């Protein structure tokens, strides 16, 4: 059986030889928004945006500030969207438990990837990051399965998981399910993630056309989910190199089920501020009927 960590690294090999730049040169305007929609009784989506970093800050010195800066910092951003499954109570619990467990795992870790601009250590840092991420998701998977087995109200609960770790110009995405990650680059939108649904699997095997996937009767039936019935958890990892002006979007299918990718790209292009873009994307889904919970996280990049 293939090693899931090695499988994940195949999605990151392009990052090994690409030199990083200091994270201090990159500025991110990031925001998120979630809405219950017009049909569902509860919001089973959950999202988070965290900024993580390390710094040293000058308190006192007789050396001029031109020689000893006031503050030196390396920081990155963690962004996650989770769409819970399993009914009125279980889906809500699953998505939020996934985010809480993820944070607990990160806080217990003795090492965070906060510096990828040193060519001598870059590849090993990325390998270590992939190994930790797989460990985090395995812990979430086990936690949800245990909770579902111990409480009849939560039986069968699971969640999608689409996350991004953004550090400098390096963007790593982690994906299970059918929530999505997009990158808008020079006005063109590119989907980073690949859905784990029965309909998408049919398309991958050539049984149906890719254009038929969104309307196929099995397009909401997941083949992978965190907390799902199988012991093994297969995780997709991807690498993207950010350039000046790029926009990142993480979203649940409550958006993509109501709007096309070209419409989403138009909204992102029309709203440079991330908070405004989030509001406009959610409003678009609601105007189209809001048949599902809708959640978006948008990040805009400026490179000095």
Residue 58's CB is within 10 A of a number of other CB atoms, namely 12
In angstroms, the CA 198 to CA 217 distance is: 9
CB atoms within 10 A of CB 57: 9
Mean pLDDT of the chain: 92
Q: For residue 42, is pLDDT > 70?
A: yes
Count how many domains the chain has: 1
Confirm if 156 and 145 have CB atoms less than 8 A apart.
Answer: no
Q: Categorize the per-residue pLDDT at 31 as very low, low, confident or very high, splitting at 50, 70 and 90.
A: very high
Domain that holds residue 255: 4-53+69-303
pLDDT 10s digits, 114-161: 888 888 899 999 999 999 999 999 999 999 999 999 998 998 899 999
45 has a pLDDT exceeding 90: yes
Give 228-260 pLDDT, tens digit per residue: 888 889 999 999 999 999 999 999 999 999 999
The answer as to whether 256 is a domain residue is yes
Q: What is the mean pLDDT of residues 50-62?
A: 91
Give me the mean pLDDT over the 43-72 stretch.
91
Cβ–Cβ < 8 Å for 61, 68: yes
Supply the pLDDT for residue 111.
85
Among positive and negative, which fits the CA dihedral 88, 94, 97, 98? negative
Q: Which residue has the tokens 């049909």?
A: 39
CA 227/CA 216 separation, integer angstroms = 25
- Average pLDDT on 269-280 reads 98
**What is the per-residue pLDDT for 115?**
84
CATH number of the domain that residue 120 is part of = 3.60.40.10
| CA distance linking residue 23 with residue 137, whole number of Å | 26
Q: Is residue 61 part of a domain?
A: no
Burial label for 39, CB within 10 Å (0-12, 13-18, 19+), is exposed
DSSP percent split of the chain into helix, strand, coil, nearest 5? 35, 30, 35
Q: Is residue 62 part of a domain?
A: no
Q: Determine the pLDDT at residue 304.
A: 84
Residue identified by tokens 């990151």 is: 12
41 exposure class (CB count in 10 Å sphere: 0-12, 13-18, 19+) = exposed
Q: Tell me, yes or no, whether 58 lies in a domain.
A: no
| 60 domain residue, yes or no | no
What pLDDT score was predicted for residue 5?
63
Out of 11-15, 56-60, 240-244, 263-267, least confident range? 11-15
pLDDT at residue 178 is higher than 90: yes
Q: Report the C-alpha gap between 234 and 215 in whole angstroms.
A: 26
In-domain check, residue 165: yes
Name the more confident of 113 and 246.
246
Percentage of residues in the chain with pLDDT exceeding 70? 95
């Amino acid at each position: 059986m293939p090693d899931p960590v090695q499988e994940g690294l195949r999605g990151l090999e392009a990052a090994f030889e690409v030199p990083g730049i200091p994270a201090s040169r990159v500025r991110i305007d990031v925001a998120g928004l979630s809405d219950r929609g017009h049909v569902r009784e509860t919001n089973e989506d959950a999202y988070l945006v965290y900024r993580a970093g390390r710094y040293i800050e000058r308190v006192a010195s007789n050396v001029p500030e031109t020689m000893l800066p006031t503050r030196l910092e390396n920081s990155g951003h963690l962004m996650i969207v989770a769409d819970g499954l399993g009914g009125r109570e279980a889906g809500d619990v699953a998505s939020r438990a996934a985010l809480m467990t993820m944070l607990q795992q990160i806080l217990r870790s003795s090492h965070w990837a906060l510096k990828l601009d040193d060519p001598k250590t870059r590849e090993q840092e990325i390998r270590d990051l992939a190994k930790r991420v797989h460990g985090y998701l395995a812990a979430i998977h086990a936690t949800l399965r245990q909770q579902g087995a111990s409480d009849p109200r939560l039986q069968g609960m699971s969640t999608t998981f689409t996350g991004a770790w953004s550090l400098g110009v390096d963007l790593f995405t982690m994906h299970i399910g059918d929530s999505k990650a997009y990158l808008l680059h020079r006005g063109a939108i590119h989907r980073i993630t690949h859905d784990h649904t029965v309909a998408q699997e049919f398309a991958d095997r050539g049984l149906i056309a890719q254009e038929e996937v969104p309307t196929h009767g099995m397009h909401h039936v997941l083949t992978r989910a965190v907390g799902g019935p199988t012991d093994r958890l297969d995780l997709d990892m991807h690498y993207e190199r950010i350039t000046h002006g790029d926009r990142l979007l993480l979203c649940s299918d409550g958006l993509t089920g109501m709007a096309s990718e070209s419409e989403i790209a138009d909204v992102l292009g029309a709203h440079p501020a991330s908070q405004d873009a989030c509001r406009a994307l959610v409003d678009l889904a609601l105007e189209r009927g809001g048949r599902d919970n809708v959640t978006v996280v948008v990040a805009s990049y400026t490179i000095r």
